[in-house]
Amino acid sequence: MLLVIIVGIICYIIGSIPTGYLVGKIVSKIDIRKYGSGNIGATNVFRTLGVKSAIFVLIVDFMKGFVCAQFISIILVPTYLNNDVAKIICGLCAIIGHNWTIFLNFKGGKGVATTLGVFLALAPLEIGISSIVFLTVVLISKYVSLGSVVSSIIFSILLIIFKKPSYILFAGILATAFIIIRHTSNIKRILQGKENAIW
C-alpha cells in the first residue's frame, strides 16, 4: 500500500507540471492565465502564443498521462495489482495533478490531453474513435470545448459498447466527469452564444 501511495504521489506531481504556464513564462515572459480564457491548456496557448507553442504543450500534457499510465505503472505490478488497475491508479493521479496542480494553488488545466494519454494506454480503439468525434465536432462547431465534452461522453459510451472491464469503465466515466466539470463555464458560454471559437 505504501508503494501505491508513493507512486501515486509521483504521478500526481508529474501531472501537476503546468506546461502551458511554463511555456508562457519561458517563451514570452507572460502569465498565460492573464490572457484569453485564462486557462493553461493548449487551446489558450494556441490563441495567445501560436501554433508551435500549442503543439508543444499538447504533446507534453499528453505524454504526462501516457508515461504515467504506460510506464510508471509497471512499478506497481509486483504488488499483485492487475496491470490495467495499476495503469488506472497512475493515470488518474496524473489527470488529477494536471487539473488541480500543486504548483498553481491547485488551479490547473482541463485535462483533455492528459486524459487522452492515459486512456491511449488503456483503451486505444475507443480513444481513436473518440478523437475522430472530437475533430469532427470542432471542425463543424469551431468550439474545442464542445468537441472535448462530446468526445469524452462518446468515449464512456464506447467503453460500454465494447464491454471493457468494470474498472476501466469506472475510470473512463470518472475521467469524463472531470472533463465535464472542468468545462462547466465553457458549456454555459456555449448555451449563451458567448464561447470563443478556435478560429
pLDDT band, very low/low/confident/very high, at 31 (cuts 50, 70, 90): very high
Per-residue burial over 141-160, b if 16 or more Cβ lie within 10 Å, else e, is: bebbbbbbbbbbbbbbebbe
pLDDT digits (tens, 9 = 90+) for 49-84: 999 999 999 999 999 999 999 999 999 988 878 999
State the DSSP string of 44-94: HHHHHH-HHHHHHHHHHHHHHHHHHHHTGGGGGGGGT--HHHHHHHHHHHH
Q: In which band, very low, low, confident or very high, does the pLDDT at 147 lie, cut at 50, 70 and 90?
A: very high
Q: Which residues contact 173 (CB under 8 A, 6 or more apart)?
A: 156, 159
**Contact criterion met (CB below 8 Å) for 124 and 131:** no
The beta-carbon contacts of 124-133 under 8 Å, at least 24 apart in sequence, are: 125/158, 125/162, 126/155, 126/158, 126/159, 126/162, 126/164, 126/172, 127/155, 129/154, 129/158, 130/154, 130/155, 130/158
- DSSP assignments along 180-194, one per residue: HHHTHHHHHHHHHT-
Q: Provide the 3-class DSSP secondary structure of residue 128.
A: helix
The pLDDT score that the predictor gives to residue 92 is: 98
- CA-to-CA distance for 108 and 79, rounded, in angstroms? 31
The 3-state DSSP class for residue 110 equals: coil
* CB 57 within 8 Å of CB 41: yes
pLDDT digit string, tens, across residues 100-112: 999 999 999 999 9
Residue 181 has pLDDT above 80, yes or no: yes
**Cα gap 33→110, rounded to integer Å:** 13
Q: Round to whole Å and give the CA distance between 77 and 41.
A: 32
pTM across the whole model: 0.96
Residue 144 has pLDDT above 80, yes or no: yes
Average pLDDT, the chain: 96
pLDDT for 80: 79
Encode pLDDT of 97-143 as tens digits.
999 999 999 999 999 999 999 999 999 999 999 999 999 999 999 99
**What is the pLDDT confidence band of residue 199, given thresholds at 50, 70 and 90?**
confident
Q: Is the dihedral of CA 22, 133, 47, 110 positive or negative?
A: negative
Cell of residue 108, nine digits? 490547473
